[in-house]
Structure 1
Amino acid sequence: MSSLESPRRATIADVARKAGVATSTASVVFSGKAKVAPSTKERVLAAAAELGYAGPDPRAASLRRGRSGIVGVVLEGHLRTAFLDPVTTAMMDGLTDGLAELSAGILLMRDEPGEGGSSALSSAPVDAVVLIGCSGRTRDSLEVVRSRGLPVVVIEGDAGEGIPRITLDNTTAAADVARHVRELGHENVALVTLPLDSARERGQVTAERLATATVDVTIHRLLGTREVFPNAPAFSAAGSFIDEGLLVGRMLLADPLRRPTAVIAQSDLLAAGVIRAAEELGLSVPGDVSVAGFDGISVDGLGAHTLTTSVQPAVEKGRAAGEQVARMLRGEPAVTQNLTCRFRAGTTTAPPSAVR
């Protein structure tokens, strides 16, 4: 063999020959599917160690099953910004846990078409797909996945009948936060929402815009808040980022004559941005304005504040999605799971100054 050639990877047959046993016996030692005499097992393992054989090639197993060993995860928007949100990071940790028994790799994908308008999902070597949300462009991704007959799970989105989903009680949880604000005595309240659709336009939420909204999380959280404050003005952000909360917060708080006494945001990052906007204007939180969020994440830059929010089970949400993917790949039926959030009162909300 030339010194430039890579050494051949030892096979289970090589191990069997060296150990003086049948190939099937050597295979059983590594699979653990049947008992083998201790002396035989020791002989096989010693031969494997001498040959540098670490175990069956997972690629070969994947080929025998007709699988790639990869699960595709379709995220909305740019991947470079997706993991700026701690909710996404926690959810992906949970998803990895849920897929652990499969030893599957994860392929992160965007919900946008590639060159020529085709979707990367149409040819991606994946065994199953997890869609984060199902709105706008992700609905196109769903159709591609369904046309390929791949198992699919949707996290926080409505993919239609027969598609297993992992959902949160967004409407109820948002209403819990709003009721807390109302019970403190606030009536002049403004809302900061997540994007309404894939256009991610920042601006006032009008009836016309709401009628064409496609992001279920935004719609459901807004419904919950407006159960308590039906006439509260709402403004959409272009994403769940602190900078977006800062920009919308400036819009809401700049005019003293129209300034709300409380702002309810649809994410903790947006709420943190609103707090920064208030501090820029010399306003105290919650002395001059109360601020509440949604998610229950750890946000840098809040100082001594503990944000009033609704804590969502982000890790559990991802884990549940992974477990349903694993069920489907085992040939078992998947189920939709509904998870619940927990209200947490913090130090960023208090009665309005007029009430105090």
Structure 2
Amino acid sequence: MSTRRATIADVARTAGVSPSTASVVFSGKTPVTDATRTRVLDAAAALGYTGPDPRAASLRLGRSGIVGVVFIGHLGAAFVDPVVRAMMDGLAEAVAPVDAALLLLRDSAGAAAQGARATTAPIDAAVLVGCTPAMAESLAMLRARGVPVVVIEGDAGPDVPRVLLDNREAQRTLAERVRALGHTEAAIVTLPTHRGGVPGWIDPDRQGQIAIDVVRDRLAGAREVYPHAAVFAAEASSIDAGLAAGRAILADPATRPTAVLAQSDLLAAGVVRAAEELGLTVPGDVSVTGFDGIDVDGLAPFVLTTMVQPAAEKGRAAGAAVMAMLDGEEAPSVCFRSVYREGNTTAPRR
């Protein structure tokens, strides 16, 4: 008879939730609904799971058993954005063998208001989702404490392992496909350029002040093909933010582009809705592309032309790096590649 102790992954599977959701229930630091908490705790009781195994040192003997995940924006993105959710699931799976819990934190500027700071939280390791200049102080303090740090899609210096995506190359590939369809006039919708996400047009000065690596890299890739394209920064990666951006970009027939390149699939879905709201056809009047490769509810009959990224694999790679560093081993940086997927939201220019 097997005597294997149930893990947080077993609890998640039984409760019908993601590993990251089950993990935050036990960390107790991030709000979840009462119904979700009840399902997780009931599943844990049925499996005889009472929390992180103290014998495993919750990662290592004498440590907290908590991996901090530091976000630039609102913590709600971890549960709302499908890409972030898949990445968190991959991370939770990677650290599940030692029952590590995930503690979601905001960067220093946002965390102070919530009473949770990466610099003082009792964590064994930190995974930074992106890295802005504002995180530099927090990063230095974490490393002074001897806390291993991994960055997903950001640059925290040569000594910090990174989990990267080919953002610039992938966005350039997508733009080249659109240009090959005959679209000489295109507009770009970016993800938020700073923490807090102020929407609006990006002029050359603002472009030089973009603080988020993903946004800067994807914009650079699109600019290689469309150097003079108008650029609008969205407030968030959401359908509503894409709708607002699409309205601004497509409102004036005199300056209306025949193609819109959005930096996420959710933004692209919003642009499609804006086009339909204005009586335009997609892709007849305007072609639209996204980025991520997620399933967007309510978008049918449209299937976005997009770049598909391996979100869960990024999370697993970050978790593997954490485990290696806690074992005293070096964790190399890795870079994943996106895959082009043609949908029915792009077509040759009329």
**TM > 0.5 fold call:** yes
Partner residue, 1:203: 200
Distance of 1:290 and 1:159 partners within structure 2: 36
Partner residue, 1:106: 102
The 8 Å contact of residues 121 and 144 in structure 1, kept in 2 or not, is answered as: no
Name the Cα RMSD after superposition. 2.3
The 8 Å contact of residues 136 and 197 in structure 1, kept in 2 or not, is answered as: no
- 1:112, CA displacement in angstroms? 3.6
Q: What does 1:282-321 align with in structure 2 at a 5 Å threshold?
A: 282-321=279-318
Distance of 2:246 and 2:286 partners within structure 1: 11
- 1:339, CA displacement in angstroms? 0.6
110, 118, 123: which one aligns with 2:120: 123
| Number of matched pairs | 304
- 1:87, CA displacement in angstroms? 0.1
Change (3 A) 1:141 1:118: farther
- 1:61, CA displacement in angstroms? 4.7
90, 97, 104: which one aligns with 1:94: 90
The 8 Å contact of residues 106 and 118 in structure 2, kept in 1 or not, is answered as: no
Query: Which amino acid is the alignment partner of residue 295 of structure 1?
Result: D
Distance of 1:115 and 1:196 partners within structure 2: 21
Q: Does 1:258 align with 2:255?
A: yes
153, 166, 171: which one aligns with 2:168: 171
Structure 2 runs not aligned, ≥5 long = 6-47
The 8 Å contact of residues 56 and 98 in structure 2, kept in 1 or not, is answered as: no
Structure 1 runs not aligned, ≥5 long = 1-28, 32-52
Partner residue, 2:139: 142
Structure 1 range deviating more: 150-159 or 136-145: 136-145
244, 247, 261: which one aligns with 1:247: 244
Change (3 A) 1:154 1:57: closer
The 8 Å contact of residues 136 and 198 in structure 1, kept in 2 or not, is answered as: no
Name the SS of the counterpart of 2:232 in structure 1: strand
Cα displacement string for residues 221-240 of structure 1 (whole angstroms, at most 9, x for unaligned residues)? 01111111111111111111
Distance of 1:54 and 1:93 partners within structure 2: 19
Cα displacement string for residues 227-261 of structure 1 (whole angstroms, at most 9, x for unaligned residues)? 11111111111111111100010001111111110
The 8 Å contact of residues 167 and 217 in structure 2, kept in 1 or not, is answered as: yes
The 8 Å contact of residues 52 and 65 in structure 2, kept in 1 or not, is answered as: no
Query: Which amino acid is the alignment partner of residue 216 of structure 1?
Result: D
Query: Which amino acid is the alignment partner of residue 84 of structure 2?
Result: T
- 1:117, CA displacement in angstroms? 10
46, 62, 68: which one aligns with 1:66: 62
Identity over aligned pairs, percent: 53
Partner residue, 1:193: 190
Structure 1 range deviating more: 75-84 or 57-66: 57-66
- 1:347, CA displacement in angstroms? 0.2
